[in-house]
């Protein structure tokens, strides 16, 4: 196997909790088979008594799991006792250290309640923010001044959990496939005051194309490269803005007393845009 392919496999293994758990159970099975085989062949030699394969497996499982019914006790040979101690120590390490480290986080993820895909009630005159980033956090703080309800829409459950945990009562959070019309119906975009798309340019364009027919409010696209703004306009955005291009103007206007995000939100919500934006 080449070094590059070996590196890919190594990265995949370390990134996948399921792969680690699968490897753990495979090694555990090999360990049980090895201990059972050793005990099955060593017990008659050390203790002078025959033992069947099922009873050998039963003893190993009892010892590894620290149940220890003691069916075969007492042992007359010290080597048998030493072997049993090694199996018990292995079981303690397995049950009280390895299993919690691997299985508990994985099971917690499985049984963790999924974030909502829809709201329990309709929203009206609200602001929909698509995507979750530092920009979204700044927007939340600014929009709170307007007393408009805020709904954050993201495309993965993990991001939805993060947004819900960090935003708290400041915003509603739902998640779903950006290409699914049901997501935007669940977001009540038809009743929204404005929709602010904060994903990358390509994703923003796809989102705007999907919602422009049902949205009655203002559609705002936030992008990194203002030169791509015309494509967002073609897609249906009412305003296209780039924080990088207007930061200097906003700082100059407000003498650094407020952030550029505050001004962008204030002026877009009020229906006006400062110089430097793509109209």
Q: Is 186 helix (H, G, I), strand (E, B) or coil?
A: helix
Dig out the tokens for 165 from the structure. Answer: 């945990």
DSSP tag of 73? P
pLDDT tens for the chain, residues 1 to 279? 555 555 555 545 545 666 767 777 888 889 899 999 999 999 999 988 899 999 999 989 888 887 776 677 788 888 988 998 898 888 888 777 766 666 666 666 656 666 888 888 889 999 999 999 888 888 888 887 778 889 999 999 889 988 888 888 788 999 999 999 999 999 999 999 999 999 988 999 999 999 999 998 999 998 887 777 888 888 899 998 876 665 555 555 544 444 444 455 455 444 445 444 455
Assigned CATH topology for domain 3-111: Helix Hairpins (1.10.287)
Rounded to an integer, what distance in angstroms lies between the CA atom of residue 175 and that of residue 139?
19
Task: Out of 3.10.20.30, 3.40.50.720, 3.40.50.620, 3.40.50.10330, select the CATH number for domain 127-269.
Answer: 3.40.50.720
Every domain of the chain and the residues it spans: 3-111, 127-269
Rounded to an integer, what distance in angstroms lies between the CA atom of residue 231 and that of residue 107?
44
Is the distance from CB of 87 to CB of 63 less than 8 angstroms? yes
Q: Positive or negative CA dihedral for 239, 245, 247, 252?
A: negative
Rounded to an integer, what distance in angstroms lies between the CA atom of residue 105 and that of residue 49?
44
């Amino acid at each position: 196997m080449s070094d590059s392919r070996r590196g890919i496999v190594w990265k995949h293994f370390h990134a996948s909790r399921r792969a680690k758990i699968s490897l753990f159970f495979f090694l555990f099975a090999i360990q049980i088979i090895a201990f059972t085989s050793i005990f099955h062949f060593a017990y008659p030699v050390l203790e002078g008594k025959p033992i069947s394969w099922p009873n050998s497996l039963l003893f190993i499982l009892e010892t590894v799991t620290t149940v220890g019914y003691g069916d075969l006790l007492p042992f007359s040979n010290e080597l048998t006792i030493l072997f049993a101690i090694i199996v018990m120590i292995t079981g303690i390490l397995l049950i009280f250290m390895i299993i919690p480290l691997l299985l508990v986080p994985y099971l917690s993820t499985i049984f963790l309640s999924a974030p909502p895909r829809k709201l329990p009630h309709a929203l009206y005159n609200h602001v929909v923010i698509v995507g979750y980033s530092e920009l979204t956090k700044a927007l939340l703080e600014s929009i709170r001044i307007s007393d408009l309800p805020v709904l954050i829409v993201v495309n993965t459950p993990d991001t939805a959990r993060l947004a819900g945990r960090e935003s708290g009562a400041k915003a509603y959070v739902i998640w779903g496939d950006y290409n699914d019309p049901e997501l935007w119906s669940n977001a009540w975009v038809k009743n929204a005051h404005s929709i602010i798309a904060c994903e990358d340019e390509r994703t923003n364009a796809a989102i705007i194309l999907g919602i422009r027919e049902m949205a009655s409010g203002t559609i705002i696209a936030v992008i990194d490269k203002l030169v791509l703004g015309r494509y967002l306009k073609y897609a249906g955005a009412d305003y296209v803005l780039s924080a990088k291009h207007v930061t200097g103007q906003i700082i100059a206007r407000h003498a650094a007393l407020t952030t550029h995000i505050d001004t962008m939100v204030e002026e877009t919500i009020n229906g006006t845009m400062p110089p430097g934006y793509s109209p």
